[in-house]
Amino acid sequence: MKCKRSSDGRKLDHHTLQVMRQQAVKAAREGTTVASIAAAFGVSTRTVFNWLAQFAEGGQNALLAKPIPGRPPKISADEMRWIAQAVRDNSPQQFKFEFGLWTLSLISELIKRQFGKSLALASVSRVMKLLGFSVQKPLYQAWQQDTQLVHEWETKTYPAIKAQARAQGAVIYFADEAGIRSDYHTGTTWAPVGQTPVVEVTGRRFSFNMISAVSPGGEFRFMIHEGSVRATTFKEFLARLMVGASKPIFLIVDGHPIHKSKLVKDYVASLDGQLTLFYLPPYAPQLNPDEQVWAHVKRRVSRQLVQSLDDMKSLALGALRRIQKLPDLVKSFVSDPLSTSTQQDSERGA
């Protein structure tokens, strides 16, 4: 967004102000912050919020040089500013709502409670989009998570591990375990409006467990296991991981007891430094990119009609082997564990 600054917007002619208003609203709808827009046009944030309020009420006509006369905007500039700050900086519980997510209905109720004004949900949606908000799927974080430990891992611990790996010529892997069940389903399907679609599935329940490891270089290893994953199972996976390893391996895992068992520690010690385990902070699965593997596999398996354990294993193996053939997909898991956009692009191009 480029424009000429003005020290006082009141000195501008009506046509210039109209263009400024239109450009400011366009920038806001594209996600530019109100503060940035105000700085770019040389006006106050209150002025920008006022333009947004006018647009929310009257659309493009409200931005014209000679606005069509009529009632003032239902939501004022100050109220727009308050709504943006309230939703951005607070959870619904902080306003004594029971629900934990900001929905249009909840925001509408908040506006009514705070300002005594009733807005249609379509109007609330328009206001939120103007304020730079969008509907998003949230990341859920365990309340037990220590944010300081997570920050330390991201800024100090993991960079130190990468530096140590470079110095020793080691390969870094992230490993994790997950189970998959026959009654896990996800995804959407098109159907006539008002007719909820029904997909027939088996009523039988069966499951198995998977262990895998991903590296920033795009390498991927996995193992399928029926029954509970115990220390002996994890040791077996480590042994398979070491087969053909020409460089030391730095394996990053969570703090599950099986990863710290005496059996596993003794096995690692027997390898004379060829394998080293590092542990993630507690309750921080978002730091382990191997979680993306399970989201990928479960999504692909759950979209198929599974009739037996063998069917499910065959589908899972197919998904896991497909990942092995797509090193760029594996790299995308590790480069940005919190984003699935690269992963989805790879899927669409496959």
Question: 273: left (phi > 0), else alpha (psi -120 to 50), else beta?
Answer: left
Q: What is the pLDDT of residue 314?
A: 85
Calpha distance 100→295 (Å, rounded): 24
pLDDT of 1 > 90? The answer is no
Q: What digits encode the pLDDT tens for the residues 229-267?
A: 899 999 999 999 999 999 999 999 999 999 999 999 999
Q: What is the pLDDT of residue 94?
A: 75
Q: What is the mean pLDDT of residues 277-297?
A: 86
Neighbours of 119 (CB within 10 A): 19
Higher confidence at residue 88 or residue 341?
88
Q: What is the pLDDT of residue 272?
A: 94
- The DSSP bridge partners found for residue 176 are 212
CA-based nearest residue to 277, from 266, 268, 285: 268
pLDDT of 344 > 70? The answer is no
Q: What is the pLDDT of residue 226?
A: 83
**Residue 44 neighbours by CB under 8 Å, 6+ apart:** 38
- The DSSP bridge partners found for residue 277 are 251
Retrieve residue 138's tokens: 């949230």
What is the sign of the dihedral through the CA atoms of 301, 305, 311 and 315? negative
Q: What is the mean pLDDT of residues 323-328?
A: 90
Q: How many residues does the chain have?
A: 350
**β-bridge pairing 275-279 and 249-253:** parallel
Calpha distance 300→319 (Å, rounded): 7
Q: How confident is the model at residue 71 (pLDDT cuts 50, 70, 90)?
A: low
Calpha distance 282→296 (Å, rounded): 23
DSSP letter at 333 equals H
The identity of residue 232, as a single letter, is: T
Higher confidence at residue 11 or residue 52?
52
Higher confidence at residue 65 or residue 84?
84
Give me the percent of the chain exceeding a pLDDT of 90.
26
Q: What is the pLDDT of residue 347?
A: 38
Q: What is the pLDDT of residue 31?
A: 76
Q: How confident is the model at residue 124 (pLDDT cuts 50, 70, 90)?
A: confident
Q: How confident is the model at residue 138 (pLDDT cuts 50, 70, 90)?
A: low
Is the pTM here over 0.85, yes or no? no
| DSSP letter string, 49-118 | HHHHHHHHHHGGGGGSSSPPP-SPPSS-HHHHHHHHHHHHH--GGGGT-S-SS--HHHHHHHHHHHH---
Higher confidence at residue 104 or residue 339?
104
Cβ-contact 286, 330 below 8 angstroms: no
pLDDT of 161 > 70? The answer is yes
Q: How far is CA 8 from the centre of its chain?
A: 41
Radius of gyration of the chain (CA): 27
Q: What is the mean pLDDT of residues 192-198?
A: 49
What are the helix (H) ranges across the chain? Answer: 14-29, 34-41, 45-58, 77-89, 104-115, 121-130, 147-152, 158-168, 231-242, 262-270, 290-302, 309-324, 327-335, 341-349
Instruction: Give the mean pLDDT of the chain.
Output: 77
pLDDT of 149 > 60? The answer is yes
Lowest mean pLDDT among 60-64, 122-126, 193-197: 193-197
Query: Phi and psi (nearest 5°) for 226?
Result: -90, 135
Q: What is the mean pLDDT of residues 283-308?
A: 76
**Residue 323 neighbours by CB under 8 Å, 6+ apart:** 220, 222, 293, 296, 297, 329, 330
Q: How confident is the model at residue 189 (pLDDT cuts 50, 70, 90)?
A: very low
Q: What is the pLDDT of residue 9?
A: 47
Higher confidence at residue 265 or residue 123?
265
pLDDT of 54 > 60? The answer is yes
Q: How confident is the model at residue 340 (pLDDT cuts 50, 70, 90)?
A: very low
Q: How confident is the model at residue 142 (pLDDT cuts 50, 70, 90)?
A: low
Q: What is the pLDDT of residue 68?
A: 45
Q: What is the pLDDT of residue 174?
A: 96
Higher confidence at residue 8 or residue 323?
323
